[in-house]
């Protein structure tokens, strides 16, 4: 049985016995010690202890994040006075984060096993959700910044511009814009099986 952590963490990071020449002329040398590299006998790049740690963190983030984001979405949907423009944007962030949190168990399994066991369709879905999250979060934070600018610098105009229905329309546009990137990634992405 292999040890959970075959090398001290600082040895992996700083590598007192680095291999190869670190010049730009020799790009095919590894900075990791030889016992941590992929080999045919173990079939995995990461040591088992690190895999278990990562999966445990993924699980904790998944459970905590799902609870928190679902609670935020519930409160915004349940209480009418919470449906302000800013809270609609926060709802959009929580929705995007919830979707990506739902992919963490699959990504954790991939890390633990060292391969993707779920098939090509789920691979495409997970990749697309990651891209959707990245772009919807970025665009939503940008929209929130513009919203705050209007509220602070143009308070009279903000009464007409900063409505819940307009924030919802902006969120729909954000998801449509994210689809411009997310759909092609879902179509082109695939799970590749490496030859051993």
Q: What is the CATH number of the domain that holds 56?
A: 1.20.1070.10
How far apart are the two ends of the chain, measured CA to CA in Å? 21
Q: Exposure pattern of 39-53 as b/e (b: 16+ CB <10 Å)? A: eeebebebbbebbee
pLDDT tens-digit readout, 39-97: 433 445 789 899 999 999 999 999 999 999 999 999 999 998 899 999 999 999 999 99
pTM above 0.95, yes or no: no
Q: Within the chain, what is the greatest distance between any pair of CA atoms?
A: 70
Confidence of residue 139 (pLDDT cuts 50, 70, 90): very high
> In total, how many domains does the chain have?
1
Please indicate, yes or no, if residue 23 is contained in any of the structural domains: no
Q: 75 lies in a domain?
A: yes
Domain that holds residue 168: 45-188
**Cα 112 to Cα 114: distance, rounded to the nearest angstrom:** 6
17 assigned to some structural domain: no
C-alpha separations of 133 from 90, 136, 140, 163, 181 in Å: 13, 5, 10, 24, 11
The answer as to whether 64 is a domain residue is yes
Name the residue among 98, 88, 99 with its Cα closest to residue 67. 98
Q: Which two tokens stand for residue 91?
A: 């709802």
């Amino acid at each position: 049985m292999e040890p959970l952590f075959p090398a001290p963490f600082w040895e992996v990071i700083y590598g007192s016995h680095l291999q190869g020449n670190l010049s730009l002329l020799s790009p095919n040398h590894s900075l990791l010690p030889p016992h941590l590299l992929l080999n045919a006998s173990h079939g995995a790049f990461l040591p088992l202890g690190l895999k278990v740690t990562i999966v445990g963190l993924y699980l904790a983030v998944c459970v905590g994040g799902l609870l928190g984001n679902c609670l935020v979405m519930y409160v915004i949907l349940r209480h009418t006075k919470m449906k302000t423009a800013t809270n609609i944007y926060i709802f959009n962030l929580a929705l995007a984060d919830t979707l990506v949190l739902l992919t963490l168990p699959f990504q954790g399994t991939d890390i633990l096993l060292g391969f993707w066991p779920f098939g090509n369709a789920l691979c495409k879905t997970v990749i697309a959700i990651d891209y959707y999250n990245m772009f919807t979060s970025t665009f939503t934070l940008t929209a929130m910044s513009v919203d705050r600018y209007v509220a602070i610098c143009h308070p009279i105009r903000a009464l007409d511009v900063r409505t819940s229905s307009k924030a919802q329309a902006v969120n729909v546009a954000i998801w449509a814009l994210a689809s411009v990137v997310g759909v092609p990634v879902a179509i082109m992405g695939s799970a590749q099986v490496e030859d051993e």
